[in-house]
Amino acid sequence: MVREHIDAYLMELCRGVGALDINAIQAVVDEIMRAWRDGCTIFIVGNGGSAALASHMATDLSKITVPGQRRFRVQALTDNQSLMTAWGNDTAYENIFSEQLINACRLGDLLVAISCSGNSPNVVKAARVARDLGARVVAFTGNTACRLHELSDVSVLAPVSFIGMQEDIHVILNHMIASVLVKKLTAVARRASQPAKAFVLAAGEGSRLRPLTLNMPKPMLPIDGKPLLEHTVQWLRRYGIKDIAVNLHHCPDVIVNYFGSGEPLDVELAYSYEDTVLGTAGGVRKMRDFIGDSPLVIVYGDVLTDINLHDLLAFHRQVTTRDSAAAVTLSLYHVSNPTEVGLVDLDSDGRILRFVEKPKREEVFTDLANAGILVVEPWVIDMIPPGIVFDFGRDLFPMLLEKGVSMYGWVAPADTFIMDIGSHAAYDRAQQDWPAHLRVRQTVLQPAIFVDRDGVINCNRPDYVKSWAEFEFLPGAIEALRRLSQLGWPIIVVSNQSVVGRGVVEPQVVDDIHARMVAAIRQAGGRVDDVLYCPHAPQEHCDCRKPQPGLFHQAAERHNIDLSCSYMIGDAACDVEAACAAGCKPVVVRSGRWAEQAAELRAHLLHIQHVAADLLQGADWILDQVAALRAIQADRPVHIAVGIAAPRLHVNGAQVSYTRANHSMPARSSAQAVF
């Protein structure tokens, strides 16, 4: 009898679990990931067994830890018994959750409301209050219509009649969601650790630019003294992209003989020869093995631009995190010639509703056009038929929209330079406009990242670092610099090296250490644009030894830096004092002299912006701050549209110049919690 009952129960439970709405579960996962991505709090409520599940779910979400990724902010409103009984006693039982939400809930937060009946007064009121406060609502309910369905953005019904079994299904649902979230965060972490690759479309014959292109590929036409393709490669490298593929057809040897392997430009070039032009998408499909599992930046070879690639990639990561169907992000800009480009229609979330390639005049519906730079998920490449002519605008994009695959558009800031040089008039205009744009850009101050060396990038030694053999990178330091390089801001190492002034180490040895350090960072896909160090002994009382701000002022003059918007990452009081004197925002790491200088650092508590475990955590915090600021400036929670001028690198081929110094905020500091 018992056995039969158990078998029947398990069979019915399995049937109920199998009948769950997968699309609704996916929507719940997307809501939770959105809350995580936006730094919002997830509140969970329920009564009886559902109250126990609320605590259970909060525990499961809180324990999800993926290295390099922030954790979920979760609070079960069922756990504070003192507060619940106080509200219940002083007002009414139906207010025990809603009053807590009034205290803590913010715009964009998420409420998970669990109720088998879906009509529990305190849960229903919590959902109503959460919506009034601008939060999203997810509901786990039983199998009948209820008030909670009407108030929720997403509902998952347990499709069985017995309440106890509904609770079982809710527990299973919680575990399924938690397991999916672990995989999604792991994928986010893996993607963050893998530099994007790029593909430059250069196989076209450039027929509209003949006779200039009779014996030369269009991307090799010179602009401001060097080929268009060289501008493109240097732009990609500036944002940390080293692996670049180029497809070839017309006069391929001109490109290969000029660029070779790409080593002089500090990139690795791969070439794809097309006997017959395969179209924009078909050419990319031919190089599927090169693409691997990383997101791919695709650049049309006739586009000259200084688009902030960090912002474009950040937007793409955001939409792919919150929308599992997101596959492509197009960079967009406003044009005056809408019949000559691909036009895009967007909804309020930036999702592309339709794409029309080079419409007739009567078909024009917007001036928002494809800029010719897009980011594509690798699985989309597999949807392109191999070996045939296939185009992004005419074939792939309409097919993706028809299949329900999400495509998004990122609108470039108005001061971004974007020009298609596909005609003689455009090419002539580029010869004038590009140098003029560069001159203007060089007058615009840009933020920078300053980084101390010993104790931040490499291990401190009590006897100092006297050779490359004694230089040891701290764990995560190279990865931190790789991530920071994607901002497009100058990264400047500023260091006190009194070993030179005291005669312990020769200047050329320090230069060699720095050259090898930068080479190792570059090899891993990172970037350091300059190394400035003070060679003087403390008793020389120079103006460049930290805590004096001389190194910062030299860097600002050389790289056109706005110090007030820049960050300094250090491990000692002198780093904080120098940053403050220069007007930068100090971030302190605990990997170097933190312990021995705790008292001195505590004296600067109000000035320290953040305290991190190491350079990697400090870098991630800065990236979060920049993303949040740009989102605020763009007046949208996701869409980032703030232009930051790209740095001018002190690079000559593969050589980096280093200079020894010569003689001649507002938010509450998060460091307070650490001290």
- DSSP secondary structure letters along 291-335: HTTS-EEEEETTEEE---HHHHHHHHHHHHHH-TTEEEEEEEEE-
Query: 224 and 162 in one domain?
Result: no
377 in the same domain as 289: yes
Q: Alpha-carbon torsion 283, 287, 291, 293, what sign?
A: positive
- Under DSSP, the state recorded for 394 is I
Check whether residue 277 and residue 262 sit in a common domain: yes
Collapsing DSSP states into helix, strand and coil, what is residue 546?
coil
| pLDDT tens track for 23-71 | 999 999 989 988 887 778 999 999 999 999 999 999 999 999 887 677 8
Give me the pLDDT at residue 192, please: 63
164 and 211 co-located in one domain? no
Cβ atoms of 106 and 38 closer than 8 Å = no
Same domain, 140 and 99: yes
The letter for the amino acid at 49 is G
pLDDT for res 658: 36
Assess whether 168 and 152 both reside in one domain. yes
Q: Are residues 126 and 222 in the same domain?
A: no
pTM for the structure as a whole: 0.56
Nearest to 130 by CA among 96, 101, 99: 101
Same domain, 157 and 205: no
Structural domain including 359 reads 197-442
Which residue, 442, 459, 479, sits at the end of a domain? 442
Residues 143 and 217 in one domain: no
Q: Which residues contact 672 (CB under 8 A, 6 or more apart)?
A: 605
- 421 and 467 both lie in a single domain: no
What is the predicted pLDDT for the residue at 191? Answer: 66
The predicted structure's pLDDT at residue 46: 95
Cβ atoms of 555 and 517 closer than 8 Å: no
Active-site residue among 38, 109, 454, 620? 454
Q: Give the integer Cα–Cα distance in Å for 41 and 99.
A: 16
Considering 109, 306, 420, 452, which one is annotated as catalytic?
452
**For residue 541, what is the domain's CATH number?**
3.40.50.1000
CATH of the domain at 140: 3.40.50.10490
DSSP state of 206: -
Last residue of a domain, one of 155, 190, 225: 190
Domain end, chosen from 425, 442, 459, is at: 442
The CA dihedral of 400, 401, 407, 408, to the nearest 10 degrees, is 160
| 454 assigned to active site | yes
Catalytic residue at 433? Answer: no
d(CA 158, CA 131): 23
Residues written for the chain: 675
Query: Alpha-carbon distance 475 to 102, whole Å?
Result: 43
| 140 and 228 both lie in a single domain | no
Give me the half-sphere count of Cα atoms (radius 13 Å) on the Cβ side of residue 226: 11
Q: What is the chain's Cα-based Rg?
A: 28
What is the structure's pLDDT at 391? 87
**Count of domains observed in the chain:** 3
Q: Which residues of the chain have pLDDT under 70?
A: 68, 191-195, 206, 322, 441-444, 603-604, 630-675
Domain harbouring 285, CATH code: 3.90.550.10
Q: Are residues 481 and 614 in the same domain?
A: yes
